[in-house]
A and B are shown apart, each in its own frame.
Chain A
Amino acid sequence: MEPRPRSFYVLSAFFGLFVLFLYGPTITIGILSFQGPSGGLTFPMRGVSLHWFADLFQEQAVGDIWGAFRRSFALGLIVMVTTVVISVMAGLAFRKRFAGSGVLFYLAIASLVIPSILISLGVGLIFSQLGLKIHWATSGLGSQLTWTLPFGLLIMFAVFNRFDKSYEEAARDQGATAWQTIRYVVLPIIAPSLLGVALFGFTLSYDEFARTLLTAGSYNTLPLEIFGMTTNVTTPVIYALGTLTTLFSFAIIGSFIATVLIIQRRRARLGSDAGKGV
């Protein structure tokens, strides 16, 4: 291997600083959430305690955050499943270049770049004018899908652009029906990418704020609840909540990544040796 140029070390340092910039603040509130009972929102630490984490379990200190967490979790799962199913179907559809596919594609892009507050406002207005009750599982769900579906669709585009069509042709030549080809050939091959779509679906929903703001109804999701806290809570309890929900996100991300790694390893172990001249 040739020696590293000097620019490598400069860029490494830059990259290190960037990662510090990304994670530093999160780590700081992680530390500060262990503030002593008399400690404030900034350093110095006045002792170390679990006081603020304990506060999270007292309703008078923080309101209904556990209810909000349950709602966010449930909504995240619903959005995740819906996003995966709809994205895969749409991804398959776009391979056929059906009439109107161009318009639909640009609609999906528009959905991604439209300012979130417009979705929030528009959906809220429609529901109120139609006399429907806004609720996180109806208007909230729909609004969040306008954010997660374009991501799912873009991932599916990336997946199918790299998809080797000869697998499908082989399946068809062996007499598989269209559904069998999808079920037993296409889906298993793209499974790891579907996990990626699922990860986007869940986490983007779980953290979604702007599109849910006017569409969640009287029961808040967790981000809305946290935002409400920023205006009236001035103790490190908000850091404790931030630390917990960030750890929760990390756990979700970690389990998705681990699953993908396991699938890949299984494939490497059990995969076919066809075409390798064995």
Chain B
Amino acid sequence: MTETLTDRAISGAPGDVAAARPARRGAGIGANVGGWLQAAPLTLVLLAFLVAPIAMIVTVSFWRATEFSIIPAFSFENYEFLFGSDVTYRVFFATFKYASITWAVTLAIGFTVAYFLAFHIRSQTMQIALFLLCTIPFWTSNIIRMISWIPFLGRNGIANQTLIDWGVIDQPLEWLLYSDFAVILAFVHLYTLFMVVPVFNTMMRIDKSLLEAARDNGASGLQTLVHVILPLTKPGIMIGTIFVVTLVMGDFITVRFMSGSQKANVGRLISNDIGLLQYPSAAATAVVLLCTVLIVIGILLRFVNIRKEL
């Protein structure tokens, strides 16, 4: 395939070499225009469906709402209400709690899995196969994956039945489903992949001779792990962290579904307001959430240069 295409490319373009020159000159206006043209579709989509919506949300967050409609205005009442309410602080606290616990668990699992794949599997085919095995669930439906915990965690579910059969408990545990536990379990289930992939990616690029050098100098396996592998894996960990933290902080559906609507995070606060058609209030909460997420990412990005790590 490649061969024939190359042949065609050669025979199809007998023109003079000089004609191809300008394209090679790199920087300058020409490259800029070419780059702009090629980047235009992406830019347009992001302007229309990312920048404009955020601008709209920021605008609407200063509007007023009646029961039936929203009215353009410039008032801080949405923000005053938001910051004046205990609920806001509790819900933001809950959001950070979900994010930090999920982050710790996904990091522990993700790092271990990536370490196993990168350093203990010797054949490359096997490595790719097992890596795919870990990533396939990412391409299936999150909602179905949440639903599939019901038969496990329900009052008469597999977990409770098993524990009762083993005589560990007499009564079914009530906190398995529709609880913080269930929410975090689902987060870990859904998002560990986002930690495994970037960590695995950076681990695969560690020069194996560094590990040999560590061993030749008498480092134990654990010392190599802590002093060689861990520092070199930091960029991957940071990228995974950004994914997991932002996904969890922005979530509303997992919390609603896995807590049976009994728990709340910021995303649910927004979606509840939307359900009540209180768009200005939803927008104000969304703005605060966005700022929070951006601050967190800003802090994390100080530790890593994403473009270099791809």
Contact = CB atoms under 8 A, between A and B. Distances in A.
A173 B17 contact: yes
A195 interface: no
Given A226-B141, A249-B140, A270 B2 contact: yes
Interface stretch (B73-81, B82-90, B129-137): B129-137
Nearest to B306: A109
Contacts of B36: 93, 98, 100
B57 A118 contact: yes
B183 interface: no
A271 B306 CA distance: 34
A261 B141 CA distance: 25
A129 B42 CA distance: 24
Contact of A126 (B3, B35, B56, B144): B56
A32 B35 contact: no
A190 to B, nearest CB: 12
A230 interface: yes
Interface of B: 1-3, 5-6, 8-10, 12-17, 19-20, 23-24, 26-27, 31-32, 34-39, 41-43, 45-46, 48-54, 56-57, 60, 109, 112-113, 115-117, 120, 122, 130, 132-134, 136-137, 139-145, 147-152, 154, 156-158, 161, 189, 192, 221, 242-243, 246, 249-253, 257, 267, 270-271, 274, 279, 282-283, 286, 289-290, 293, 297, 306-307, 310
A277 interface: no
Given A117-B270, A121-B282, A271-B2, 20 more contacts: A7-B120, A15-B116, A28-B148, A89-B41, A93-B38, A94-B35, A98-B36, A107-B46, A114-B293, A122-B53, A122-B56, A142-B48, A149-B42, A178-B23, A203-B140, A207-B140, A209-B253, A210-B250, A214-B274, A226-B143
What are the 7 closest A-B residue pairs judged by CB atoms, nearest first? Answer: A122-B53, A115-B250, A98-B35, A93-B38, A25-B148, A184-B9, A93-B39
A119 B221 CA distance: 46
Contact of B51 (A107, A154, A175): A107
Contact of B290 (A114, A123, A176): A114
A177 interface: yes
Contacts of A270: 1-3
Given A1-B122, A117-B252, A125-B53, A188 B1 contact: yes
28 contacts: A18-B192, A29-B147, A29-B148, A41-B150, A86-B41, A93-B34, A96-B31, A114-B50, A115-B267, A115-B289, A121-B53, A142-B45, A149-B46, A174-B13, A175-B19, A185-B6, A188-B1, A199-B139, A207-B140, A209-B142, A226-B143, A226-B147, A230-B143, A245-B141, A245-B144, A253-B139, A267-B2, A272-B3
A111 interface: yes
B250 A176 contact: no
Given A11-B116, A210-B253, A253-B136, A89 B38 contact: yes
B41 A98 contact: no
B106 to A, nearest CB: 11
Contacts of B26: 96
A104 B50 CA distance: 12
A146 interface: yes
Contacts of A154: 310
A135 B115 CA distance: 45
B257 A230 contact: yes
Contacts of B38: 89-90, 92-93, 96
Interface centre among B8, B50, B116, B252 (most CB of A within 10 A): B50
B49 A123 contact: yes
B158 A43 contact: yes
Interface in A185-232: 185, 188-189, 199-200, 203-204, 206-207, 209-210, 214, 223, 226-227, 230
A266 interface: yes
A157 B112 contact: no
